[in-house]
Structure 1
Amino acid sequence: MAKQKIQTMGVSHAIQRQIDRVSYLFLLPMAVFFVCFVLAPMVIGIFTSFFNYRMGVFDFNFGKNYLQLFTDKVFWRSMRNTIVIVIVSVPLVTIFSLWVASALNEKSMGTTSFFRGVFYLPVVMGTVPVVVVWKWIFNSYYGILNYILKALNFMPQNMRFDWLGEKSTAIWCILTILFTTSIGQPIVLYIAALGNVDKSITEAAEVDGASKLRTFWQVKWPSIMPTTLYIVVITTINSFQCFALIQLLTSGGPSYSTSTVMYYLYEQAFTYYNYGYANAMGVILAIVIAAFSALQFKSMKTE
């Protein structure tokens, strides 16, 4: 009996080892992709950030790239713009998405599906079509925004205001566009998360006399905290990496008033071919993103 049990265990271990091998074989393509296109570029980027790496030049400079960052006014202006974008966009996107999802959660399935598709449409369309539409809206000659303001007598009829060409308004135009393109996924995620909340608990709270606000805060909010953490972290990372909108709309102008770290990094690498300096910016940006993400994880951590 014992001998038969030992043989059965041996067969089970052999089958398990075979299953493990097959599993690793399925993971191998993704592991190769991760090493070649994610891990290796990260290591190379950190390594070359300590070199004066230009076209035909590759000299070790003892970290002068990092010291140069502290005296680069354009870099600090770009960092300030990036942090402003993060601080403004992340709370607005999270709060607005939660508000819309909470409102749609109480509607019929058809209404919820319709508005979910409407809010997710900019994500499906991509950046370029969205930018073309917003360029038309903000255009100083034939833009619909100036036309509406003139029709409402908020602007003189002979005035042509360049929304993307003025320092005082360009960054807020970028924030507006970023907001409209960032709320699609959070709304869909929040609708799914709110739909998974146990209705019997919310109904019991309402029967006990709890208001809708108290029911949301005491019952629904703890249930959607993991979704909120994911949305906050992903929105933060995407806001830090804001690049396509800047390149297509303003190219960092006017006078770097809309430049972000990602755009300035791109400019240094592919306009001035200063790869080592650009990689140093990338390392600093990665550290800042990691610090923000760690702070968010710590502040929103629950049992």
Structure 2
Amino acid sequence: MRETRAAYLFLLPALIFFVGFIIVPMIMCLVTSFFNYTMTDFTFVGFGNYIEMFQDPIFIRALKNTVLIVIVAVPVVTIFSLWVSAAIYPLHAASRSFFRCVFYLPVVTGTVAVAVVWKWMFNKYTGLFNYVLNAAGVIDENISWLGDERFAIWCIILILFTTSIGQPIVLYVAALGNVDNSIVEAAQVDGATNFQTFWRIKWPSIMPTTLYILVITTINSFQCYALIQLLTSGGPNHSTDTIMYYIYYEAFKLYRYGYGNAMGVFLAIVIAVFSAIQFKVTKAGSVD
């Protein structure tokens, strides 16, 4: 009993922080989503905010953009990270560390710095992309990459991809190092090819890591906000709005906290459903 009390006393600061800044705000978010909560009003509206949400054309467009980002970014990040990890893992330790550092660098670089560099590269008049494409004769006139509805959301996805692959690569390299080499060697002695060895032994063995990468990448993609705020502010014509950015816009620019909280609750449910599906799929393909 004394040890238990001591353990809870050591945990108390973290528990207070967790309850005060995570659990309580979550409950408040859920409760206030049923109110018309603004700077001057606090009226119960039931499911009014949720009904309005699905009748709001801007929210529907933000939802489509968010789903597009998730559908494109998550599988591409996972597959590319796995391919790069499988390629660099057999290298010498120094070379492997070098590549891990290179790919992880955008993760530890500040989002603002990354956004400034990409904004320059996408600049219509002095940007690197327009310069290269003009020099190669691919385009005749400069393209406003972030100011054109046809390209803006894809530019955001490209930037998100480059900032999302660092952590999965590091995790996959570590996971490949934990695969039982005796099983791999036995399969190779029996005549298994490199592809068969990877597909039948290594891939199922690193499935728990894949689950973690899928879930984390999905959450990060659903919560894409900083790049939108720094590069496009949802424009042009709401073509790069995401649910997370639209929550910020409604809650902190229009001061419609109840409506913003309703969208937050909906986003949390969607993320939970996606994560549950990923858990089921990856668990079926993993090995003990």
Aligned-partner SS, 1:107: coil
**1:1-303 pair list within 5 angstroms:** 17-156=1-140, 159-302=141-284
RMSD between superposed Cα atoms in Å: 0.8
Shift of 1:126: 2.0
How far 1:128 moved relative to its partner? Answer: 0.7
Output the CA distance in 2 between the equivalents of 1:226 and 1:300. Answer: 7
Q: Percent identity?
A: 62
After TM superposition, give the deviation of residue 179 of structure 1 in Å.
0.1
Q: Matches of 1:127 and 1:66 in 2, distance apart?
A: 32
Whichever residue aligns with residue 151 of structure 2, its letter is T
| Superposition deviation, residue 117 in structure 1 | 0.3
CA distance in 2, matches of 1:25, 1:199: 44
Letter of the 1:152 partner, please give it: A
Q: Which structure 2 segments of 5+ residues have no match? A: none
Offset at 1:80?
A: 0.4
- The normalised TM-score by structure 2 is 0.97
Question: What is the distance in 1 between the residues matched to 2:260 and 2:271?
Answer: 16
Distance 1:229 1:23 in 2: 31
One-letter code of the match for 1:287? Answer: I
Paired AA for residue 186 in structure 1: P
By how many angstroms is 1:163 displaced?
0.3
- 1:99-147, CA deviations, whole angstroms, 9 ceiling, x for partnerless residues? 0110111100010000100000001112111101100110001001000
Give per-residue Cα distances to partners, 1:59-110, cap 9 Å, x unaligned. 1112211110121010010000000000000000000000011011110001
Unaligned runs of 5+ in 1: 1-16
TM-score, normalization by structure 1: 0.93
Query: CA–CA distance in 1 between the matches of 2:275 and 2:110?
Result: 26
Structure number, greater radius of gyration: 1
- The residue type paired with residue 117 of structure 2 is V
Structure 1: how far apart are the matches of 2:137 and 2:188? Answer: 48
Cα distance, 1:200 vs. partner? 1.8
Q: How many residues align?
A: 285
